[in-house]
Structures are given as C-alpha cells and as structure tokens.
Amino acid sequence: MRIERLDLTRYGRFTDQTLDFGPARPGKPDLHIVLGPNEAGKTTALNAWLDLLYGMAPNTPYAFQHGYELMRVGARLALADGARDYVRVKRAKNSLLDADGNPVPDDALAEAMGGLGRAAYANMFSLDADALEAGGKEAIASKGQLGEMLFSASAGLGALSSALGDLRARADAFWKPRGRNTELARLKSELAELRQQRDAIDVIASRHAMLRTELERCLASYEAATTDQGQLRRRSDDIRGVLAALDLAPRLAAQRARLAELPEYPEAPAAWADRAGELVIEDARVQAGLRALSQREEELTQRLAALSPDEAGLRLGAELPALAALHAQYVSVSRSLPNRRQDLETCAQDTTALLRRLERPADEDAAGLLLPGRLVITFRELIDRRAVIDAQLQDARREYADALAALEQAEANLADMPALAADTAWAMDGAWLARLAAAADHARQQGFDRRLAAQRRDVADASARLDQRLQLLAPWRGDAGALAAMAAPADSLLATLGRELAEALRARDHLNQTIEGQRADLDKTLAQLAGLARITGAADETGVAQARARREQAWAAHRLTLDATSADAFEAAMRHDDMVAETRLTRQKELLQAVQLRQQQAQIEQRLGQLAGRLSEADSRICALRQQTGTLAGALSPELAALDAPDALADWLQRRQRALEAWEPLLAKQQQLAETTALRDEAAAELRALLDQAGVTGDGDSLAALVATAERLRGAADASRRQREERQRTARESQNRKRTLERVEAAASAWRGDWAEACAACWLGDLRPLPTPAQARAALDLLPQLEATLAKREDLASRIGKMERDRRNFADAVLALARRHGAHDTTEAADDALALYQRLQARAAAAGEAQRRGQDLQNEQADVQERLQQLGQQTALLEAETARITSHFRVETLTEAQQALAAAQKRRETLAQIGELEQQILQFTGAATIADADRHLAGADRGALQAEAATLAAEIDAAHAHVLELHAERRRLEKAIADIGADAAAAQLETRRQTVLLDIAEKARGYLRLRLGVAATELALSAWRDSHRSSLLRRASEAFSQMSCGAWAGLTAQPGAAGETLVAVDAENRPKEVEKLSKGARFQLYLALRIAAFHDFAAGRTPPPFVADDVLETFDDARAAATLDLFADMAGRAQVIYFTHHRHLCDMAAQRCPDARLHMLSA
Amino acid sequence: MAFRFVHAADIHLDSPLRTLALRDAGVGRLIADATREALARIVDICIEEHVDALIVAGDLYDGDQTSMKTALFLAGQMRRLEEAGVQVYLIRGNHDAASRITRELTFPANVTVFGGHAQAVEVTRPAGATPVFIHGLSFARPHAPESLLPKFKAPVAGAINIGVMHTSLGGAEGHDVYAPCAIADLDGSGFDYWALGHIHKRAVHQGRCAIVMPGNPQGRDINEAGPRSVTLVSIDDARAVALEERLTSVAEFARAEIDLGGAQTRADVAERLHRGLAELRQSVGSQHLVARLRLGGATAMAGWARRDADRLLAEAMAAAQRLDHCFIDKVEIGPNLRDIAPAAMGADADPTHELAHLISERVLSSEAFAAAARAALSDVVGQLPPELRDAFDPGNDSARDALITALAREGAADALACLSADATEQDG
C-alpha cells in the first residue's frame, strides 16, 4: 500500500490541507520530504494517517477545532488492485467511506495493512525523536542483549527490557529466594498471627471436656479435704480440753481442803459485814465532835464579854460623807495652783521682752502700742509698693547706662572704619554693586574650571579609544578622516562573494572526497583484476588473440616451408592456442568477471577524468573569487590588497566601522570643550569691564581672581552700611531708656509722702527719724504676739483667784465638823485642814469595825449550841444499832461481831470457787458428772496428750492449705467454663485466616504466571533472535557503518555470560559495548537496527509506508546525508515519508537523491 | 390436622466463607457470619410458621470444627425453639461424626438426637391427629461405604412416617461417598417423606413419596453458587405432602460473563461491568451478592485488562459499589477475551505475533522451559503454607505439567500484553 494523497480535511488545526504524494514512479525511489515549520502539525498529520487507517479514538484529542461531528480525514491509496479514495469520519460505526461516500467495513484498511494492528504499525513503521531516545535507552536497559535489541527494533518496542524488568520485579515483590520483605512473608506472618489470635480466644471441645472433668474431680477432692480437716480439728479440741482440765485439778483439791478447815456461824444479813465496820468509825467521829464544840462555846462567851463600843466615832462616820465633794475639789486645786502661778509669771516676762524688742520702755502700757487693723493694712501696702519701685528704679538706671555705653561703642566703631578707597563711590552705587555681584555669582555657579577639567578628560579618553581602534586596522595606517573618506564596497556584494567562495570550497572538498573514493574503488578493481589475471593467465581476450595470431603465423610459415621445424613451431603454437582456449572454457566465470571489472575500471577512470575536470573548474572558480575580493580590498587602500578572503575583508570593514563609531564621540566632546572655554572667557570679560569702570585694580586677571576682587568689594560695602545702621539704632535706644528712668523716679517721690502720712497716725510717727519700711514691717510683725501675750496674762490671773476661794471653803467646813464633835485639838495648826479631815475619817472607821466584830461572835455562839444538840441525838441511835448486832452473835463488842462476819464470808467464797472449777472441768472433759471427770483425769497421761496435740496442729495447717487450694481451683474452672461464650469472634478470625490463604493462593498463582510468562518470553526471544540474527545483524552493521561515515566499522555479536550481546566495532576493529556508546551513537545504532528490520520485513512482503519525523536533528551534516542515502535506499522498497522543519535537510535530500519529492505543510 | 415441619441439612455452622471479597474488612463485617445468620433465619422461619418440628439431616458443623463457641451458639438457637414449643430432630452426618463438639454439648429437652441404632420416635400430637413417627439413624463414623437404608425400622402402619438420612445417594461431584443408596429404593420404602442431607445442592423427587435433599442453607464459596434454602413441609391426615422452598442464604455467590466486545476505552469497560453486575444483582434474591466475573469478547481493551489487573478489579469494585450489597469475588480473564487485531494475513507480519507463536508452538513444549518451570514451581511451593501446597503440587507429573502449561500460557499472554503496550492507548 502507498499513499497517493492525504487529505487533512478537518482534523486538529488542519482545514482542507492536502499532501499530494502522487502516483509511484517505477524505478525511482519513492522518497518524500515534507517540510513544515514547528507547530505546523507534523505529528497531527501522522496521527491523521493512523486514524484514517484504523479509525479515530472515541476521545481523540484532535477535535479541538472542528469538533467530533465534523472531523474528517481522506486519502487516495494505491492498493494491490488499484488506487481508491477513502474518507474516515468520527463515528462509532460506519466511519470509513469510499469515494462515493458509502460506508465500507471500518477495518477494511486495517486488513490491507498486512495483519499489522495500529500499535504494531505505529511502532514498526513510524519513527520520531522520542522513539530514537527510547531505543537508545533500551540499548542500556537490555545491556546490549542481542535478542532483546533485535526484537525491540523489529517490533519498534522501545521499552522492551524495562517492561520485562518490571514484570520480574513484580514477581520478586511476591517472593524471591532469600528475599526478606516479600509479600508472601508478610501474608504468612499475618496467617500465623490470626491463628494465634484465634487460639487465644477460642475454647475447643477437647479443652471443654477436660475442664468439665477437672471440675468434677476438683469438687470431689474439695469435699474430702473439708471432712478430713473437721475430724482433725475435733480431736485436737478434745485433747486441748483434757489438758486444760488437768491444769485445774490441783486448784480444786486445794479449795476443798480449805473448806474443811473453816468454822460455822449463824447466818447474818450480808450487809452486816460492812455495817459493823461503819458503826465503829461513826461512834468515834461523834464523840470527837462533841468534845470540840463544847470547847469552842466557852471561848466565844469570854470574847464577847471583852468588847466596848465608841459612840462619838459612829456619829462622825455618819456626817463625814457630806464633805467628800469639797475634799476632792481641794485636793485637785492644791495640785494645779502652783503651775498656774508659774504660767502667770512667764506671761509677764514675755510682755517685757516684746516691749524691749519694740524698743519701748519696760513700764509702758503695752496695750497702747497696738494698732488699728486698717492702719496695719495701709502700712503693708506701702511697704510692698516701695519694693516694686526700688526694683524698677534699679532696672531703669542700669538700662540707661547700657544704652549710653552702646551708643558710645557704635560711634567709636564708625570712627574706626578704615577709609574706603576711590572705589567707595562706586561701591556705594547700589546698581553697580548688584551687577558686580550678579556677574561674580554667575561665574561661580557655572563652575567653569571643574567642567573644563572633566571635558578635557573625556576628550582624552575618546581620543585614546579611537587610536586603539585605528591600530586594529593594520596593515592600514592613517587617521580617522582618511578612514571616513574611504568608499566601502556593499555588504551584499561581499556576502555573495563569501557564500560563493564557501560553496566552491565545499564543492572542491566534496570532489576530492569523491575522487579519493573512486580511486580507492579503482585500486580495488585493479587489484581484483590482477588477482583474476593470475588465475586466468593468458586466457584473456588479448592472450587469445595473440595465441590465435601466433598459430596463424606458424601455420602460414609451416605452409611455406612444410619442414619439421615449422611443423614443431606450428604444433607448439597450436598447442598453446588450444591451452588458451581450454583455459577460457574452464575459467569462463573469472573471465566474465574480469571483463566486468575492466568495464568497471573504464567507468571509474572515465568518472575520474570527469571529476578531475570538475576539480580544476572548482579551483579556478575559487581563484577568481579570491582575485575579485583582492581587487575590492586594493580599491580601498593599496595596503589592503592582500585581503583576498571575503570574510577577512568583511571583518576589516567591520573593524573600520567600529573605528568610525569611536571617532564621532571624540568630535562631539571636542566641540563641547570649545563651547565651555568660550563661555568662561565671556564671564571673565564682563567682570573685568565692571571693575575697570570703577577703576579697581584686582588681585589678578584670572576669572577666579576677578571673582575674588568682586567679592572683597561687595564685603567692604556691606560692612560699612551695617556700622551706620548700628549707630542710629543705639541713639534711639538711649533716648527711650532715659524717659523710662524719669517716670520711675516720679513714682518714688509720691510714695515718700504717703509713708510720712501713715506714720503720723500712730506711735511710729513719734520716732525720729521715721522708720524705714523694713523697720516698720518688723514692728508690725511683733504686734500680734504682744496682743496674744496680754490676753493670756489676764486669763491666768482670774483663774488663780477662783482656786484660792475653793480651798478656803473646804478648810472652813472641816473645822466646823471637828468642833461640833469635839474632835478639834486646839494645838493643831488651823490651816492644816487636810490632816484634820484624814484624822476624822480614821476615827469613824475604827468605831464601825468594832461594832461588826461583836455581831460576828454572837452569831457563831448560836450556831455551836445547835450542833451540840444534834450530836447528842446521833449518839443514841448508834448505841441502839450496835446492841442489835452484838446480841445476834452473843458477843460484847462490835469488834467481836466483825470477826464472826469475816469467817462466814470466807466459807462462802471457797464454796463458789469449788463450783466454778468443777464446771470448767466438766466443760473441758465433756464428762457427764464431776465424779466421771475425776476418774477420767486420774487416768490421763499429760505427756502423751501434749505430743499428740503438737502433731495434730501441723496436720490441721496442712489440711487447711489444701482446702484453700482446691477452692481456688474450683473457682478457676467454673469461670473458664462460664467464659466460653457463644460469640462469633473465633469463627471470624478463622474466616479471616481462610481469606488470607485464598489471597496467598491467588497471588502465588499470579506470581507463577509472571515467572513462567517471563521465562517463556525470554526463551522465545532467543529463538526469534536465532532465526533473524544473520539478516538483521548484517544489514544493521552495514547501515551503522554507512550512517557513521565509517567511524564505526559495523556491529557484531559477542558471546557473554548472560547470552550473546551486541557490540559496536570501531574503525580500528575494536569492539565496544553498546551501553558505553555515546548518546548520539546509540541513536544511530538503534536507527540502523530499525532500518535493518525494515529490510528484513521487506524481504518477504511489500512494506506499508514508512513515516519518519525529524529523526536527524542530533546528527551532524555528514551523518545526516549518509542517513538520507539509507532512507533513499529504503524508498526503493516502499514509500518513505520524512517530515522535517529544517530546510537544509530538504536541500541535502535534493542533492543526495534528486528523485526525492518535496512537499510543504502548513497549518 | 397437618403435621408441619422445616427440613434443613448441612448447616456447617461457622464454616468460613471462601472469597477474596472478604479482603475488605467492611465486607467481612456484613457477611462473615453468614452461616450463623442462616441458622438464625431457619429458626425464625420455624417460629414464624408455628411449625411442629425442625428436622436437620446431618452436618451441623464442619468435621474439623472444634470451637465450643460454635456449639454454644447452636444450643442458644435450640433454646429459642424450645421456648416456641418446636421439637427438633437431629441426625449426625459424616462431618458431625468426626466432630467432638456435639458430644460436649448439652441440648435442651426439645432436641432429640438419633443414636447409632435406628430409632422410630413418635411425635406427641393432639388427640385425634394422625400419629407421626420420625425414623433416624446417626452413623457413628465419618465414613459409611454401605447403604444405611436396610438398618431403618419398618414404617409404622396407619401413621405418617418420616425418614431422616445422611446420604450421598448415587454420588455427587465434590461430595464424599457416604451411605450411598438409590432414589428408587427410598421411593419404594413405604415412608411418606425422606428428609435427606449431605449433598449441598437442592434436589426434590416426588413419586410415591417425597424425597428432598434441601442443600446447604448458605453457600460458602463460588462452587456453592446460587440461592440456598430449607424446605417447609406439610403432611396432612390423608398423608398428602406439600413442599415449599424458603430462601435462607444471607450472601449468595453468583457468576456472570461480561462481554467486552467492541469496548474501546476504560469507560466502556466500566460501563459493561456495571451493566453485567446490575443484571446479576436483579436476578439474585439473597440480601448480599458475591459475584465472580469472567470477561470475554473481542476488544481493544483486552491487552489493558491483562496488563492492569489491579485497575480492572478496582473498576469492578467501583461498579459493584454503585449497587446495593454487591461485592466482587474475583474478575477472571475468560478464554475468549481477545484483541481486535484483524485476521492475520502473514502470520508473522507483527514480530509480537511471531513471538507469541514461538511461545505456544516451541517454547512451552521445550524441555528447557519445562525444567525451568518445574524448578520455579517447586521453589515457591516449598514456601507456601501447608494448606495450599496440594493445590500447587498435584503429585503426578502430567497434572503438574498441565498446571505449568496453563499458568505459562496465561503468563505469556500477560507478558506479551505488557511488552506491546500501545503508547497511543488512551485512558478514560
């Protein structure tokens, strides 16, 4: 099949684009170069072709412009039975239409593809840069494995090795020998864990049975153990009882003996034993009481008789309380009176001191010195006013003096000003001065000197740069002007010359190469001919002709002579001729080959002749072009005539341009410098003119000096004006100050009048001279103190008078009382009222005390008499009770009765103890009567019993421990059975375990499929390799060598540990592993394999169109050209379409294969 | 007054379900207790229908079932029946004979377990009702090579006679031979109803008497696909037998063939899977469906299905998720799933085809391959858990070679699909 025309009607970015490849041209290579710039849609066109053949994918990405509904690709295809038109649209069914728009089977074209599916066709018969890249990687991934590389190239499968590697890795992930973290190991451990979990929670039937049996056995053991333990305890208790009873037996015997010894008395009430003792004690106590009381009564009677009362003292005691208030006041006043008198004395002293401070006589009436309040205010005001006036007066006087001094200084300064020169008048002229200042300011602001320095530097730099570039123009010598004056040839002319020369040189190189190749061919041919000549000897055409000619000559000679010699000669010639003829017959093949070789030789020689002609043409063309260039250069300058290479000349012209470019800024900079100099001179001239006008002789003629002079003049004028202004200002100031002083002095005089008037209104006016304001203020400050002291003195005097009156009142009252009761001792000092009062109080108190003591004695006496009577009655009762007891026992005294009572008590106690002991013994021994018990004990062996008891104690401990153990065991078993439960947890764990087992089985099956599948594929690849290697390897080797322009001699297979590997062989016949080849070489190797695969396919079938998309991008020109030759070669077997965006590849293709057809593609 | 009872068999309580669907723990929570739920459902049916009795014709548990938890659950269900006044008649099957848990278990009073000697137990019935005798025999050993029918007592005249027997009948695939006997012999035995057990597939014979093999009430793997049930039986005083099948399976295993013919994209495949599953779900009456899918048809997606089995399974699970209670057991590549490559003209035009041809015609039959494959198989089998080894090590050479060839064919097809992945293939 081939494509005659591809219609990209509506597909991707294409609308109505057509690629017309035309019908096949028998005998000519069917090679098509499709030129389309980047983005022109080369890949899209390729996909459109595949879609036409196999249908569009349901979600094709090429619908972005026209939409699914309108997408359409068409083609005119040359099929086995002729050319037909087809159209493919995007539909689920009936997507392929014939020329009339009628549907044909969707896979009609796929069938015409010779059994190749879309993927297989795309992989095998289309090639792009990505496929080359993948192929290069495959070379590394497969480590050059021959089978894999050949197959991957034949099937166009770039990632064969990595796909196989992935499959192996997937298998290894499940399990691999000595692998640790495999999935199988993980699943197995999960399995084990699930079983462990289930075993932990499950109770299996056998265990349940065991638990039940154990429980029953445990229950029986428990009952037996508790019974044993009971028996032991009972026996132990018995022995303990007998031993205890044995301990009691001696005590019982002792009690019984005591009882026999005790006498017997009549029974008496139990209380008597205590009562008899009490009666003895009470009697003694009553008798003692009677004695003590009688004694006391006698004593009291005597003391009452000795008492005598003081009647006057008692009356005094009744009246004294009325004086209590007066007494209290007297005591208080007597305490404070001396202090008040002291205070009064202090006041008098204070007053005297104040008068002294007021400088008044000590005896003067101090009250007369006090001033009325209004006058005091007047004085205070005047004093304050005077202070203000004094301050103002001081300030005004000082300021006036300062102003006068300043005026004097200003006049002195004015006088000191140096006299200005003749220019003074001009300096005073404001307008002139302003002009001068403006001119100077302008000159300074312009900064001429700084600018000029910078511009000079710029000029120097630019000049240096120009010189540098001019030097680069050697051998030419000259200045920039001369350079600018040159007439340079046109760029286009030079470019043309350059291109033509390069082409001519390239053509010559190519011719040389070709000639060399042809010569090598000629040498080879000649060598082959020489070899053949050795074999055929003289049997070639010339030899035959010579032999025949010699035979004919010999025959002719023999006919003439007919002698033996001639006959021999003829025979020899005839034999030689026969031998030659025979040789010709036997060496027919070699001879034929020799003829062909000679033809070939002739052809090569002829071609060499032609080539030599073309070489000399090329040389003369190069020469002419150089000459033309030299002429152009010489026209510029004779020194340049040697520049005969257009490139060199163009280069020189470029340098010239750069020199000219450097000249322009120099000119501009020089111009700037000149302008600035002119401006500076102008400014200097203006300044000098102004100074000349004023006749000033400056500090110099330079602009700087002129500016300095102008500045000086302006400074002097400014200073003079400032001095005059200062004198005027100070004069005004002194006038103002003088007026102020006069005003203040007037105010001071007014104050003095007011002061005299105020003094005259009081005693201050009596003073001569009049007091100053300070003195007056001191006096005024003392007057309030004086006033206060006077008031205090008066108050104290009044209080002392009242106190003395109170004292007198008390003394009078006491004396009166004493006299009334005759208690006044005339010898006593009349004024000691207090001592008298205290004596009266003492006497009244003594009288009261004597009266109270008599009363107490009388009370006590009555009490004693009453108690004596009570004791008499008690004595009678005690005697009656004692008589009843003594008569009962028929004894005399209570002491005897007590002895009888004690004996009866002792007998009772002994009986009770005997009863208690007997009771205990009965309990301990368990006997029915005490007699039985006595007998039992009499027969008991204490030692034996103690030994038995010790043994039993140990046995009981052991039995108890056993019972506890059995109890715990029973609880455990009961709980274990109760805990089983009916839940599904164990079953669920088992289900999970089964699921993991299923999972393992499934994955193990998957693993085996992978491993066996990979193993089968690898074996199949070996078999495939064996059947295809010879043809593929040979062709690939040739293609690789040709494509690499002989850099590689070819490819070969090398046996290795892991099977045969493909190796490249370099020009020196050294092998190199493919994974060590450079990237570019690997691309070429893969391309060579693909080309070989194409030819291998073509050997048995007609291949479908082969489509390549810019696969030569990474190839250099020579290799690209060689590869195009290989494509042209392929195009002899099938349609080959090469898409590219490089125009030079089109040119190259046109050159290498003039029959190739060029097509343009644009979106 | 009719005698009504439920006839069940082969409950295999707590026997694990075997499906890869259970790899999803969520699915496990829904269906892992299915055999328990099926038993509970049987008890529910008895109680709801107020039947007189439940007859279980053997195999309460798996033979190797040893958990007392299982036995206690069974006892609990029996107690429910006791409370509802339903009698239970049990015989032991081959599995129960081996089981130790029955011996350990104490049943409530309503349960009659037939012993090793044939018994005919009369059912307590209201006055005036036709007497009912239930004949049973529990064979004490797990193997019973002879028919047990001759050991049964003769039917009681004038009464309804029901025989309960665990038997493999004439033999059935996947079931051990156990107390074999012929349908015709049972039919002519004079009994009114034969309640059979052992074979897990339901079968009913109604001739002179009714002979029913109810099948197990819950399928446990894909080999026990289809609905599972018990039989509700009613025998009236005239000894006429009426049968009613009652669904008991909680989760139902089912297969579906999915035709991918013409599918061009993954979306197409997903759609086919969903459509196939939806149809299957429609036809399944049990609450949960566990589906095994087998793909077939000529499709451009055949290579993808082989290459990307994980995503294929994910697509199937996604399709199942769109349906109620539907889970995927497995997705298998069927033998007729193939690529839509046109009929090959030159058989070896495509080197990949040539490679496939070499594998099937030369490699698989080569001794080199056979030796390598046997080594690979024995390597990995030694690593597998003992329970699985038999499946991978058939014991005789021809079976092993057949296994290897089958695995290698599939594996090679998978490998070639991976090698010739079409770079232009589209997702979606």
- How confident is the model over B119-157, as pLDDT tens digits? 999 999 988 889 999 999 987 777 888 899 999 999 999
Segment A280-327, tens digit of pLDDT: 888 888 888 888 888 888 888 888 777 777 777 778 888 888 888 888
Record: contact B411-A1010, CB cut-off 8 A: yes
Whether residue B346 is predicted with pLDDT greater than 80 in this model: the reply is no
Pairing relationship of beta strands A82-89 and A72-79 according to DSSP bridges = antiparallel
Percent composition of chain B: helix, strand, coil (DSSP 3-state, to 5):
35, 25, 40
Q: Find residue A104's DSSP bridge partners.
A: A96
Please tell me whether residue B126 adopts helix, strand or coil conformation.
Answer: coil
Record: contact B69-A993, CB cut-off 8 A: no
Record: contact A1002-B421, CB cut-off 8 A: no
Contact B139, B96 (CB under 8 A): no
Whether residue A1121 is predicted with pLDDT greater than 70 in this model: the reply is yes
Q: Find residue A1051's DSSP bridge partners.
A: A1064
Residues of A in contact with B354 (CB under 8 A): 1024
Contact B307, A1010 (CB under 8 A): no
Residues 6+ apart with CB under 8 A from A149: A138, A139, A142, A1062, A1074, A1089
Stronger pLDDT, A780 or B36, i.e. the higher one = B36
Please tell me whether residue A1060 adopts helix, strand or coil conformation.
Answer: strand
DSSP codes of every residue in A816-861? HHHHHTT---TTS-TT-HHHHHHHHHHHHHHHHHHHHHHHHHHHHH
B424 confidence band (pLDDT: 50, 70, 90): very low
pLDDT for B427:
37
Whether residue B366 is predicted with pLDDT greater than 80 in this model: the reply is yes
B322 confidence band (pLDDT: 50, 70, 90): very high
Closest-approach residue (CA) in chain A for B423: A119
Residues of A in contact with B264 (CB under 8 A): 57-58
pLDDT for B284:
93
Half-sphere exposure of B361 (CA within 13 A, CB side): 8
Mutation choice for A interface testing from B61, B100, B419, B425 by most A CBs within 10 A: B419
Segment A866-888, tens digit of pLDDT: 888 888 888 888 888 888 888 88
Contact B10, B197 (CB under 8 A): yes
DSSP one-letter code for A1134? S
Q: For residue B127, report the phi and psi dihedrals to the nearest 5 degrees.
A: -60, 140
A429 confidence band (pLDDT: 50, 70, 90): low
Segment A272-276 shows an average pLDDT of 81
The closest CB to that of B385, out of A123, A124, A191, belongs to A191
d(CA A1075, CA A775): 129
Helices (H) then strands (E): counts for chain B: 13, 15
Segment A1049-1055 shows an average pLDDT of 88
pLDDT for A698:
64
A490 confidence band (pLDDT: 50, 70, 90): confident
Residues of B in contact with A113 (CB under 8 A): 342
DSSP codes of every residue in B191-251? -SEEEEES-SS-EEEESSSEEEE---SS--SGGG-S--EEEEEEE-TT--EEEEEEE--SE
- For tokens 């340098």, the residue is A655
pLDDT for A424:
53
Closest-approach residue (CA) in chain B for A213: B104
Q: Given its phi and psi angles, is residue B58 left (phi above 0), alpha (psi -120 to 50 degrees) or beta?
A: left
pTM score, two decimals?
A: 0.56
The closest CB to that of B359, out of A175, A1000, A1016, belongs to A1016
pLDDT for A427:
55
Closest CA to A1025 of A98, A154, A161: A154
Shortest Cα distance from A50 to chain B (angstroms)? 11
Please tell me whether residue A1071 adopts helix, strand or coil conformation.
Answer: strand
d(CA A466, CA A460): 10
As to burial, measured by CB atoms within 10 angstroms (0-12 exposed, 13-18 middle, 19+ buried), residue A321 is: exposed
Segment A660-712, tens digit of pLDDT: 888 888 889 989 889 988 888 888 888 888 777 777 766 677 777 888 888 87
Pairing relationship of beta strands A82-89 and A1048-1056 according to DSSP bridges = unpaired
Segment A777-800 shows an average pLDDT of 85
Segment A37-61, tens digit of pLDDT: 877 788 888 889 999 988 888 888 8
Record: contact A1010-B414, CB cut-off 8 A: yes
Residues of B in contact with A116 (CB under 8 A): 349-350
Residues of A in contact with B353 (CB under 8 A): 115
Record: contact B420-A157, CB cut-off 8 A: yes
- Cα diameter, chain A: 246
And the tokens for B60?
């309460």
Record: contact B103-A205, CB cut-off 8 A: yes
And the tokens for A876?
């009678």
Contact A1113, A38 (CB under 8 A): no
Percent composition of chain A: helix, strand, coil (DSSP 3-state, to 5):
75, 5, 20
Record: contact A1009-B410, CB cut-off 8 A: yes
- For tokens 């201050």, the residue is A764
- Cα diameter, chain B: 89
And the tokens for A586?
């036997």
Contact B70, B13 (CB under 8 A): yes
Across chain A, what does the average pLDDT equal?
Answer: 85
Segment A523-578, tens digit of pLDDT: 998 888 888 888 777 667 777 888 888 888 888 888 888 888 888 888 888 888 88
Q: Find residue B229's DSSP bridge partners.
A: B247
pLDDT for A1015:
92
Segment A945-953 shows an average pLDDT of 89
Instruction: Determine which helix (DSSP H) or strand (DSSP E) holds A32, and give its type and residue range.
Output: strand A31-35
DSSP one-letter code for A1073? E
Whether residue A719 is predicted with pLDDT greater than 80 in this model: the reply is no
B23 near A CB under 8 A: yes
Specify the range with the lowest mean pLDDT, choosing from A421-425, A1092-1096, B167-171.
A421-425
Closest CA to A19 of A37, A39, A35, A38: A35
Whether residue A825 is predicted with pLDDT greater than 70 in this model: the reply is no
Half-sphere exposure of B247 (CA within 13 A, CB side): 11
Whether residue B300 is predicted with pLDDT greater than 70 in this model: the reply is yes
pLDDT for B426:
39
Segment A416-424 shows an average pLDDT of 56
Cis amide linkage into residue A475, ω under 30° from 0:
yes
And the tokens for B155?
């039917």
Q: How far is CA A362 from the centre of its chain?
A: 100
Pairing relationship of beta strands A1136-1140 and A1048-1056 according to DSSP bridges = unpaired
Helices (H) then strands (E): counts for chain A: 32, 14
Contact A97, A103 (CB under 8 A): yes
Q: At what angle do helices A833-889 and A894-925 cross, to 10 degrees?
A: 70
Q: Find residue B235's DSSP bridge partners.
A: B3, B241
Stronger pLDDT, B341 or A20, i.e. the higher one = A20
Segment A353-380 shows an average pLDDT of 82
A964 confidence band (pLDDT: 50, 70, 90): very high
- For tokens 């005073």, the residue is A428
- For tokens 């009961």, the residue is A974
Segment A584-626, tens digit of pLDDT: 777 778 878 888 888 888 988 998 899 899 889 889 988 988 8
Contact A992, B28 (CB under 8 A): yes
Q: How far is CA A653 from the centre of its chain?
A: 63
d(CA A652, CA A643): 9
Percent of chain B whose pLDDT exceeds 70: 96
Segment A163-209, tens digit of pLDDT: 888 899 999 999 988 888 899 999 999 999 999 998 888 888 788 88
Record: contact A980-B36, CB cut-off 8 A: no
Segment A213-254, tens digit of pLDDT: 999 999 999 999 999 999 999 989 888 888 888 888 888 888
Residues 6+ apart with CB under 8 A from A448: A676, A679, A680, A683, A703
Whether residue B406 is predicted with pLDDT greater than 60 in this model: the reply is yes
Whether residue A831 is predicted with pLDDT greater than 80 in this model: the reply is no
Percent of chain A whose pLDDT exceeds 90: 16
Rg of chain A's alpha carbons, rounded to an integer? 81
- For tokens 């973290």, the residue is A181
Pairing relationship of beta strands B203-206 and B193-197 according to DSSP bridges = unpaired
User: b/e for A734-769, b at 16 or more Cβ within 10 A?
Assistant: beebeeebeebeeeeeeeeeebeebbeebebeeeee
The closest CB to that of B355, out of A115, A1024, A1097, belongs to A1024
